[in-house]
Amino acid sequence: MITLALSKGRIFEETLPLLAAAGIEVLEDPEKSRKLILPTNQPDLRVVLVRATDVPTYVQYGGADLGVTGKDTLIEHGAQGLYQPLDLCIAQCRVSVAVRADFDYALAVKQGSRLKVATKYTAIARDFFASKGVHVDMIKLYGSMELAPLTGLADAIVDLVSTGNTLKANHLVEVERIMDISSHLVVNQAALKLKQAPMRRLIDVFARATQAQA
Ligand code: ATP
Ligand code: PRP
């Protein structure tokens, strides 16, 4: 049995077409079912649903043989021991710095002001501002980052941006693009050795589907 870890929502929805290209179907809809282990039409493949940030942990410790996770999560939480054979080019977005439209970010940086930065991505933000020589007070949040500058909690946020609609709806502007993000296949190295043939077949399925979508 091969166990594939996915997170509910965009990763699940954007991974399905890659599997479907090889005739693989997940037999339950996570939006309708409360089940966390979902069978597929392949007797030797099942999907487990975990939090997006937990996918690397499941794969690292063998709770799943492989998984799909954002590069942001991989960088932030570390990817020790994970084999990352493929960029699946799905769930594409970027990590950016955003501020209130009336906050002069360029001036604050130029003057060497200390910035209050709210983010879920503290490691990425810390590295980025350190590379610019900007001193920051980091405020760790777990969601709704956009609210922080609006309430005076922070001067800036570091968050994911795709269409820019969330920033726009909250009167924030993107002032720096830190890095482009997409989701990657991550593989448990021991599982790759122990279940070589079926694991290689599944990695090939993802490789072919990704190439076909490029
Ligand atoms: P958790 O539930 O663990 O807090 P999450 O709410 O961030 O995770 P998702 O919103 O499903 O989970 O995001 C999963 C991944 O999808 C992110 O790590 C990122 O790589 C990508 N992603 C997030 N938001 C977007 C977006 N608006 N457009 C495209 N890709 C995105
Ligand atoms: C993500 C991210 C931003 C938004 C950006 O949130 O945290 O808030 O997408 O996308 P946009 O630029 O296209 O508006 P998501 O929709 O995943 O909500 P969540 O963080 O609450 O899961």
Tell whether 25 and 46 lie within a shared domain.
yes
Q: Residue written as tokens 């084999």?
A: 83
Residue burial 34-63, b: 16+ Cβ < 10 Å; e: rest: eeeebebebeebbbbbbebbbbbbbbbeeb
| Residues 83, 60 contacting (CB under 8 angstroms) | no
Residue 130 shares a structural domain with residue 176: yes
Tens digits of residue pLDDT in 74-112: 999 888 889 999 999 999 999 999 999 999 999 999 999
Residue 120 class from Cβ within 10 Å (0-12 exposed, 13-18 middle, 19+ buried)? buried
From 8, 14, 160, the mutation candidate for ligand 1 (largest count of ligand atoms within 8 A of CB) is: 160
Instruction: Indicate whether residue 96 lines ligand 1 (CB < 6 A).
Output: no
Q: CA-to-CA distance for 146 and 169, rounded, in angstroms?
A: 10
**Whether residue 84 sits in one domain with residue 27:** yes
**Residues 132, 70: one domain?**
no
- Whether residue 143 sits in one domain with residue 73: no
With H, G, I as helix, E, B as strand and everything else as coil, classify residue 52.
Answer: helix
Give the model's pLDDT for residue 162: 98
pTM: 0.96
Residue labelled with tokens 């795709």: 162
Which ligand does the CA of 148 lie closest to? 2
Mean predicted confidence (pLDDT) in 148-161: 98
Cα–Cα dist 189/59, whole Å: 9
Q: Do both 78 and 133 map to the same domain?
A: no
Judgement on whether residues 151 and 78 belong to the same structural domain of the protein: no
Sequence letter at residue 111: Q
Cα–Cα distance measured from residue 84 to residue 197, given in angstroms and rounded to the nearest whole number:
18
Query: How many folded domains does the chain comprise?
Result: 2
pLDDT at 159 over 90: yes
In testing the pocket of ligand 1, which one of 6, 8, 10 has its CB within 8 Å of the most ligand atoms? 10
Mean pLDDT confidence for 42-64: 97
Q: Which atom of ligand 1 is nearest to the CA of 51?
A: 3
For 153, the domain range is 93-180
Query: Is residue 76 located within the same domain as residue 9?
Result: yes
CATH number at residue 28: 3.40.190.10
The reported pLDDT for the residue numbered 143 is 95
Indicate whether 108 and 57 sit together in one domain: no
Based on the domain organization, do 162 and 198 belong to the same domain?
A: no
Quick one: 148 and 46 in the same domain?
A: no
Is the pLDDT at 214 greater than 90? The verdict is: no
Asked if residues 97 and 138 have their Cβ atoms less than 8 Å apart, the reply is: no
Q: What is the mean pLDDT of residues 205-214?
A: 93
